[in-house]
Chains A and B, each alone.
Chain A
Amino acid sequence: MREKYKSAMDKLLVDENMKASIGENLLKQNDTLKNKNKITKSYIKIVYGACAVAMLVVMLVSTWMSARAVQAATRIMSDAMKVTLDASEDVIDTVTEEIKVIYTSLDDIEAEYTEGPGHSSITMEYEDKKVEDYIEFVDDCVIFYYEDVRIDITGQFSHETFFRYDVNEDYRIYVGGELDDIGLMRVMFFGDKGGRGIIYINDYNYESQPWQIKVMEDIEEKE
């Protein structure tokens, strides 16, 4: 029986096309995963680096200073931290500003979203205002306005990958996108206080660069 079952199972053909297609998909996912890990590692390195520098400063300064001077050292430490973080922001600039954006998955999003009515249309509401008050869509760039913060979002919308951006302590948005059945790019926004919306993009350049979310604060000042 063992031999007969074995030869029967051997005759069960494996669909080579499906096998190749899944293999290809796995490679893509592996690349995405590696990039994600790289960014996380960079972030951890920067945080550890900043802490290490700060601790070193404290240790050196506290060794040399009197008890009264320790108070001043604390101020020096916070300045040192700021300097280090400012410097690190420059370093990561080339890795896009994703350091400010936390990767998250669909599972983390509790807000529900509804389908938009059609192409190039927007259905987002927040605090009784229509989304037109918040979002502008120019060429390949989605611009999200919130109070005096402007967020420019460009690049590739990864399937089922959402980014969280903390607009401020009270308000966060989740941004993600996916290709729908007929190949339209769908960009979705979720505000964690109930705002939600979908934008359909007809001619979105799917192959463009990875996500970039640029935060441009104080628009009024800039203008």
Chain B
Amino acid sequence: MNNEELLKLYDKHCDSIYKVALSYTHSVDDAWDVVQATFLKLMEKSPVLSEYTERKWLVTVAVNKCKDLLKSGWRQRNVELDESVEKHIDIMNSEEKMVFSAIMQLPLKYRLVIHLHYYEGYTFKEIAEILKISPSAVSMRLHRSRELLKELFKEEGLS
């Protein structure tokens, strides 16, 4: 892969990969590590990707890198949302802030599905391929996360 192609893909998908990693790891530093590791993998493998498959390939690698990162010994603890992420929340309006915080409070498997579906716009089938689970499991996770969110919003007084 030449530098021009690499830079083009990096500029196009960096933000998206960063946000997937951030919603997974809850840490800005870890999210950047995952971005770097994902693009290094792209350089090493140089897969033949179409415009339609490149984002999905990168997101799948990023999710796997996140899993590896959280598996490592010193990260095996429940990580609270990084302080540096909290900084950005200040510019959100109150409802956005509430939705964002509620989703970030969800257990990992639920918030990842929510992020991929709501923000990245992937279908159940695509999410199933990325996470290597069945589409019905994706649907179930989404259903449960909505139930959990409903409860959280009720507590916060948001309809």
Contact = CB atoms under 8 A, between A and B. Distances in A.
A200 B10 CA distance: 36
Main secondary structure of the interface of A (DSSP, over half): helix
Interface stretch (B52-60, B69-77, B92-100): B92-100
B133 interface: no
Contacts, number: 77
A33 B2 CA distance: 11
Contacts of A4: 95-96, 99-100
B97 A22 contact: no
Contacts of B96: 4-5, 7-8, 11
Nearest to B42: A26
A19 interface: yes
Contacts of B103: 5
A22 B40 contact: no
B118 A2 contact: yes
Contact of A25 (B36, B100, B119): B36
Interface of A: 1-2, 4-9, 11-15, 18-19, 22-23, 25-27, 29-31, 33
Interface of B: 1, 3, 6-7, 10-11, 14-15, 18-19, 22-23, 28, 32, 35-36, 39-40, 43-44, 85, 88, 91-92, 95-97, 99-100, 103, 114-115, 118-119, 149
